[in-house]
Every structure is written in structure tokens, then in C-alpha cells.
Amino acid sequence: MAVETVVTHVRTSRPANRLVMIGRLMAVVVPIVLWFAPLPLARPAHQAIAIAASLIIGWITEALDPSLIGLIGCFLFWALGIVSFQTAFSGFVDTTTWFLLGAILLGTMASKSGLARRLAFIIITYTASIFDKAIIAGATSVTARGLIEKFGGVQVLWSQWVLAYLPCDLITIFAAWRLTLWLFPPEKPSLPGGSAFLREELRRLGPWSTIEKKSMVLMLLAIAFWSTDRFHPISAPMVALGIGLIAVLPVVGVLDIDDVRRLNLLPMFFVAAGISMSEVLVKTEAVDILTKVIFSWLDPFVTNVFSSTMALYWTAFIYHIFSGQEVAMLSLSLPPLMQFATLHHLDPLRVGMIWTFAIGGKIFIYQAAVLIVGYSYGFFEGWDLFRIGLSLTVVQAIILIVLVPFYWPLIGLR
């Protein structure tokens, strides 16, 4: 076991360190070259693109912690006089950022109370799971929702998002199960102990505690407000943050001040910085340039719902290969995508949801932090991920080409 651990560490750490060093060098050299390059651009747009390039390179190569990279970028946008302080740090007063804080509080509540562990066994028992894109809760979907609303000028309902992705998730779960059995036949037909093991673990959990019951009530309350958001004016971020803060109140007693002190707020800074970068690119009109470069080739495909859906899906999938960080990719690409949708008289919400859906397809390790962590244990190779990832990406494309023209209009996405 010790030898295996050492081998795994050597295998993953050397390339990672090399990539980090290259990233740190490029994150400095590339923006300097762009800054002084004689490009036919207005000065604010020229400078904004140079700094944005540094952020994107840093995020892709993980040159530093993503949140720190984002804060440095916001500072440079302000300190170099490219935009005002209010624009450079605009993401910190955006509802998306505070929606994420609410999600973090809800996650802490579920973890501390033990509710997450109890629900995990329920999910295993019923052999089902919900992917992160099915609900607006994770950093990626929260960021996408905020950018679509801000730059697309449309309302994104939590309930509509869930309904739009639910059929896809259910089909993908089944497809993932069958593909995994086909590509990686199991050495043992079942886990030792089988259902008896699950029953024993549930028995050890014992009866529901008071804190678990309180946490469940608060979670159900949040879900109830989110699911009925088309019938009331309370936004999803307000619900998430409000329920999270209620959990901290002494009379409720689910979370205490020490729990709040231990919160990891760096993901908030990362999301806020990504939104700020998007706002800077819009204010300096750099996004207009990016729109022409990135989406000009899509014009011939925007003729019908089938061709436009597939063109958007595969463009986002390929784009994600070059931009490993999902939040960074969305922050850069969604504002010009919303402009593209407006210019071509497309529904910004539907276009944004297709684009967001497409980044779920991953074929390389670096495209998600969770893949890097899993790979570090040495139980699968890059080729294994490529096979299962590409297969599921194709499956999801097939599902999407059915859902968008036939199912989405039924729930108001036209």
C-alpha cells in the first residue's frame, strides 16, 4: 500500500507541478505581450482582454488558487485604471455570489447534522442520484443562472431549470450504469454483505436526532420556495441565503458562530471574480470583439432548432476542453453568448441552458477538480475517463436533440 501511494503521488505531482510553473510564466508573459501588442482595438477593450487572458490562463493551469487569481484580476482591472472600482468588483454585490453563500450554509447544515450521511444511504438504497446540473445549487449552475439573467435579460426559474434537466438526468443515470458495466465489467457481481450491509449501516444511524429534524425542515422549506418560484416574488438567492441565516439563529440552533467561522469562502471569491471579469469585458466592449471571434462560425447553423442546438452543444464542449475551469469558462463565454442570442432572435434562456448543459461532458482529467482528486488515487487511467466521458457526451447530445425541440416548449422554454 505504501509503495502504491508513493507511485500514485509521483505520477500525479510532477506533471501538475510542471503545468503550474508553465501556467505562472504564461499568466505573466501573455498579458504583457497582449498589453503592448499593436492591436486595432480601443484602449479599454485592449487592456481588459490582456488582463482577462492572464486570469483564464491562471485558472486553466491552476497557477494559484482560483479565488486568489480572481482577486488579483479584479485588483488589476481597478488599479490599472481600466474600469472603476464598482465595475472591477461588481461580482461581489451580485446575487449569484450570495446565492452560493446560501448554498454553502445549507451544505454545512446538512453535513453537521448528519442529514447528508443519512440521505446518502437513502439514495444508495433507491439506486438514484441527481447530477449537479439538475438543480441550481453548485457553483457552476449558480454562476450560469446569474449570468443568463444579467446579460440575457431573462428570468431563470429554479423550478423550470429542474424540470428541464430532470428527464436527461434520469436517462443519463441509466446510460452511465449500462456503459460502465459494458466498458468496465465488475470483478464481483455485488458488494460483500449486499442489502444486509446497508440495513446495518442504517441501524447504526439510529433514530432521527433533533438537529437532523430541524435541518430537514429547513431544507424542505428551501426546496418548497424554489419549486414554487413562478408563483411568488422571492428569488432563489434570497431563499438560499435566508434559510442559511435562519439556521444560524440561536433559537433554531442548527449552526453556531463557530460553524460560520469555519466556512470556506474562497469559492465565493472565485465566482465573484468571474462575474466581475464578465462585467469588465462588457463595460469595455471587449465582449463585442469576443462575440465576433468565438461565435461568427455559428451563423450558418442557426437555421433551425436541431442544427442550432447541436452547434451550441458541441461548440461549448470543445470550448471546455481549452478552458478547464467551468466557472471561468461560463464567466467569459456567457455574456457574448447572450449577445449572440439577442442578435439572432434566439431565446437567451434556452441558449444559455444548452451551453451550460454541454460543459457536463468531460473527457480529460484536468476539466474538473473532482476528476483530478479521483485520478490521484490511481484506480483509473486517463484513457478510462476518455472512453466513458466521450460515450456519455454523445448520449447526452442525443438526449438534448430530443428534449430541446419537443419537451422544453412544454415547460415554457421556446
Give, for all 414 residues of the chain, the pLDDT tens digit. 333 333 334 344 444 577 788 889 999 999 999 999 998 889 999 999 999 999 888 887 778 888 899 999 999 999 999 999 999 999 999 888 898 888 889 888 888 887 766 655 533 332 233 355 667 766 778 888 888 998 899 988 888 888 898 888 888 878 877 877 787 776 666 666 666 766 776 677 778 888 888 999 998 999 899 888 878 888 888 998 999 999 999 999 899 999 999 988 888 888 888 889 888 988 898 877 776 776 777 888 888 999 999 999 998 888 777 555 677 778 878 888 898 898 888 999 999 999 988 887 777 765 665 565 455 545 667 677 788 888 888 988 999 999 999 999 998 887
Place of cell 412544454: 410
Contacts of 145 (CB under 8 A, 6+ apart): 96, 99, 136, 156, 161, 236
Contact 71, 264 (CB under 8 A): no
pTM: 0.68
Q: Where are the alpha helices (DSSP H) in 132-189?
A: 139-152, 158-183
Cα–Cα distance, 345 to 299 (Å, whole number):
12
- Which among 78, 251, 241, 99 has a CA at the least distance from the CA of 161? 99
